[in-house]
Structure 1
Amino acid sequence: MASFRVEGGHKLKGEIIPQGAKNEALQILCAVLLTSEKVTIHKIPNIRDVNKLIELLADMGVKVHKLGPESYEFQADEVNLDYLETEDFLKKASALRGSVMILGPLLARFGKGKLSKPGGDKIGRRRMDTHFFGFQKLGAQFHYDAKNEIFHIDGKNLKGTYMLLDEASVTGTANIVMAAVLAEGRTTIYNAACEPYLQQLCDMLNRMGAKITGVGSNLLHIDGVTQLGGTSHTMLPDMIEIGSFIGMAAMTQSEITIKDCQIHRLGIIPETFRRMGIQMEFRGDDIYIPSQRHYEIETFIDGSILTVADQIWPGFTPDLLSIVLVTATQAKGTVLVHQKMFESRLFFVDKLIDMGAQIILCDPHRATVIGLDRKYPLRGIRMTSPDIRAGVALLIAAMSANGVSIIDNIEQIDRGYQHIDERLNALGARIERIS
């Protein structure tokens, strides 16, 4: 198991380019199964979860050709469905939560799918019901082997239908859309997720020959076609990385420029960090963060404490609440962080409290952070990364702290952030990867 040794107290300076969007990549890569023609994808992040999914596709018989550091060509013209029956497939798929999104393409093109219960972050219950509700509405037959935790789905002759999703699940919507593009007739999905990742997937599918309208809204109409062709696709910069870098700059009093952000696709992320008191300047498509000794959290108009809560898009993404929370520890003022979706995602605050942060964990979903305004710097400790986003929040805390911190289980961070130690060290951080 690897760890980070982080020497805190160093200011960063320079430019950094965000990686391709992890959450988009997991959807886009699964979509290559929908056609026998070549699909070229650019700005693929070199991170553990994405690399595992590419390996899984190759094991399934997809031809994978690496064109460059961030570009790949895929061709799924000889998919080996027998591989789905092997223990190797079930083992590899269960190690990766994003693997669930191969089901929609498999059902659409081949009429069947099989998957063991996917893994991923241990951040609370992450139910699969929305995925299977959608498949069943399209006419698929579903069986769950509870003893072996294996999903079996028969999806021959899918037919379009109307469905109202009980939750606007991003991966659930993506899976249903990919199943519906080759189904007979029209599918209408209400309460669909509309995140930029989903918009990117729909735009890509339309270039392949799909007929999807309502992209960017929560009401999608999909007219099924008989087949899809190849295409080329470039992924968005990762909005979670961008938000992480904004918080990191504030905490470490650093002057950095985040390049090529596609700011118009970031929603309320920049404004939320501005409400935390962080100054930033848009320079074309770049975000410039000046070095700030102090930043003060706003209150609501009536003077009450600011609440930052996760919401479905275009609300604030839950993946950045960990960053907001750690950034608030050295701000002036108080904020209530309300994590509605996952009941275990705030449990990492005990490490921040050990570092000297003033945080009250109200319940599994809410934490009140009392900003110290840098009067009492955090102190370095040894800690363990519980999930991807909490891991980076702890890394930010360690970079701003007095002394040396050790962060164990950094495989979690590697799942979502590409060469994060090397990229930050290039800006002046002191992060060492140790065994």
Structure 2
Amino acid sequence: MGTFKIEGGHQLKGSIQPQGAKNEALQILCAVLLTSEKVTINNIPDIIDVNKLIMLLGNLGVKIQKNGPGSYTFQSDDVNLKYLESEQFKEEGSGLRGSIMIVGPLLSRFGKGYIPKPGGDKIGRRRLDTHFEGFIKLGAKFRYNREDYFYGVEAKRLKGTYMLLDEASVTGTANIVMAAVLAEGTTTIYNAACEPYLQQLCKMLNRMGAKIKGVGSNLLKIEGVEKLGGTEHTMLPDMIEIGSWIGLAAMTKSELTIKNVSWENLGQIPDVFRKLGITIERKGDDIFVPAHKDGYEIQNYIDGSILTISDAPWPGFTPDLLSIILVVATQARGSVLVHQKMFESRLFFVDKLIDMGAKIILCDPHRASVIGHDFTSQLKATTMVSPDIRAGISLLIAALSAKGTSTIHNIEQIDRGYENIDERLRAIGAKIIRM
């Protein structure tokens, strides 16, 4: 189990380049299974979850060529479907939540798709019903082996249909879209997720020859085609990492420039941080965060009531940044209620922040009230364990702002989502050592 030692209380300075988007990568990589032609993908983040998926594709028989840092070419012209029934696949597929998205492409192109119950973050129950209900509506037969926690869907040829999703699941929508592009007839998906990473997937599929209309809305119409061709795709910068660096700059009173952020795809992220009183300036396609020497003040609502920041499907505020918002609020002037609606265990890491001296009341598994210190009292260094990716980066930000030397164990959770984070932080002045 890896460990970070962090000497907190230092101001940082410089610029940082966000990695390619993790959540986009997991969708885009699975889409290479839809064609026998070459697909080149650029700006792939070098992180554990993505590398596991690339390894899984290789074991499935996909030819993989590394072109350079973050750039790969994939060709799925000799897929080994027998691997799906192997013990090796059961082990490797269960270690990665993103592996669920190979099912749609495999079902659509080869008539069958299997997956063990996927792993990933321990942030509460994350249902797979939306995925499989969509496949069933397209004509697939579903089976589930309770003893092995193994799911399977099979169909000779999928047929287009109308479906209203029970939730705007991003991975569910992506999986169903990838299944529908090669189905017979027209598929209409209402209450579809519409976040930028899903838009990227749809745009890539259209370049490959798919016929998807309504991209960017919650109503997608997909006219099935016989086959798809190759393409080249470059992934967006990771909006969660961008939000993490904004929070880091504010908490450490640092002057930071975040490079090439793709402003048009950030949605509400800049405005939500501004509601916490953080100054964010647009400079071309960069974000500039000045040093907040006098701190930052949370805005109340117009009637004077306490601000609530909550998550919602896109274009609402992403749940992956609520942990960052909560940490940043611990040093603000004023109070805020953080309402995590989508996952019931994501706020349980606040006990670590309370140990560090933060004033937080955990109301229930979904809500936490934060009373900011206004930097009159620094957080205290402590020893912590990272429970998941987003809580892990939040604790790391807290440690970098705290007085003294903190230790964070189980940093593999942070490495799952953040590329070479210790090296990149040292480059802007952070005192962090990987043990």
TM-score over 0.5 for the pair: yes
5 Å-filtered alignment, 1:282-297, equals 282-293=282-293, 294-297=295-298
| Match in the other structure for 1:133 | 133
- Detail structure 1 runs of 4+ shifted over 2 Å in the superposition: none
Whole-angstrom CA distance in 2 between matches of 1:155 and 1:235: 32
What amino acid sits opposite 1:38 in the alignment?
K
Match of residue 395 from structure 2: 394
Q: CA deviation at 1:82?
A: 0.8
Query: Which amino acid in the other structure matches residue 338 of structure 2?
Result: V
Establish whether residue 422 from structure 1 lines up as the match of residue 423 from structure 2.
yes
Query: Residue 147 of structure 1: CA displacement?
Result: 1.3
Alignment match, 1:345: 346
- Name the CA distance, whole Å, in 1 between partners of 2:296 and 2:364: 27
Shift of 1:297: 0.4
Separation (CA, whole Å) in 1 of partners of 2:85 and 2:147: 17
What code does the residue aligned with 1:355 have? M
Counterpart of 1:209 in structure 2: which amino acid?
G
Match of 1:372, SS?
A: coil
Amino acid of the structure 2 residue aligned with 1:206: N
Residue aligning to 2:386 = 385
Residue 3 of structure 1 is matched in structure 2 by 3
- TM-score by length of structure 1 reads 0.99
- Determine the C-alpha separation between the residues in 1 that align with 2:345 and 2:388: 10
**Aligned AA (1:256):** L
How does 1:315-326 map onto structure 2 within 5 Å?
315-326=316-327
C-alpha separation in 2, matches of 1:133 and 1:248:
40
Residue identity matched to 1:151: Y
How far apart, in 1, do the equivalents of 2:205 and 2:156 lie? 21
CA–CA separation in structure 2 for the residues paired with 1:246 and 1:64: 35
Offset of residue 380 of structure 1: 0.3
Which residue in 2 is equivalent to 1:357?
A: 358
Q: Distance in 1 between matches of 2:221 and 2:231?
A: 21
1:273-306 residue CA offsets vs partner (Å, 9 max, x unmatched)? 0000000110000000000021000000000000
Q: Which secondary structure state, in structure 1, belongs to the residue aligned with residue 413 of structure 2?
A: helix
SS at match of 1:314: coil
**SS at the partner of 1:332?**
coil
1:35 alignment partner AA: T
Partner of 1:93: 93
The match for 1:408 is: 409
Q: Percent identity?
A: 72
C-alpha deviation, 1:148, in angstroms: 1.0
Counterpart secondary structure, 2:429: coil
**Structure 2 equivalent of residue 112 of structure 1:** 112
Counterpart CA distance in 2 for 1:136 and 1:354 is: 48
- Which secondary structure does the structure 2 equivalent of 1:152 belong to? strand
| 2:72 counterpart residue number | 72
CA shift at 1:322, angstroms? 0.2
Q: Structure 1 CA distance, aligned partners of 2:399 and 2:346?
A: 19
CA drift at 1:175: 0.1
1:152 corresponds in structure 2 to: 152
Deviations 1:82-139 (A, max 9, x none): 1111000110000000000000000010000111000000000001000001000000
The CA deviation string for residues 184-236 of structure 1, in whole angstroms up to 9 with x for no partner, is 00000000000001000000000000000000000000000000000000000
What is the CA distance between 1:330 and its match in structure 2?
A: 0.4
Deviations 1:17-43 (A, max 9, x none): 000000000000000000000000000
**Structure 1 match to 2:244:** 244
Residue of structure 2 equivalent to 1:314 = 315
CA distance in 1, matches of 2:70, 2:146: 39
- 1:155: Cα distance to partner? 2.3
Q: Distance in 2 between matches of 1:425 and 1:303?
A: 41
Q: Structure 2 CA distance, aligned partners of 1:271 and 1:75?
A: 41
Task: Point out where structure 2 has 5 or more consecutive residues left out of the alignment.
Answer: none
Aligned partner of 1:299: which letter?
N
Q: What do residues 376-417 of structure 1 show as CA deviations (whole Å, max 9, x unaligned)?
A: 100000000000000000000000000000000000000000
Number of positions where the alignment pairs a residue of Structure 1 with one of Structure 2 = 434
Q: In structure 2, what residue type is equivalent to 1:272?
A: V
Distance 1:68 1:323 in 2: 32
Alignment-mate amino acid for residue 396 of structure 2 = L
Unaligned 5+ residue runs, structure 1? none
Residue by residue over 1:347-391, the C-alpha shift from the partner in whole angstroms, topping out at 9 and shown as x without a partner, is 000000000000000000000000000111000000000000000
Give the superposition deviation at 1:244.
0.4
SS of corresponding position for 1:287: strand
Instruction: Please provide the CA RMSD for this pair.
Output: 0.4
**Counterpart residue number, 2:84:** 84
Amino acid at match of 1:72: Y
> Quick one: which amino acid aligns to residue 136 of structure 2?
Q
Equivalent position amino acid for 1:383 in 2: M
Distance in 2 between residues matched to 1:157 and 1:264, nearest whole Å: 38
TM-score, scaled relative to structure 2: 0.99
| Secondary structure, counterpart of 1:319 in structure 2 | helix
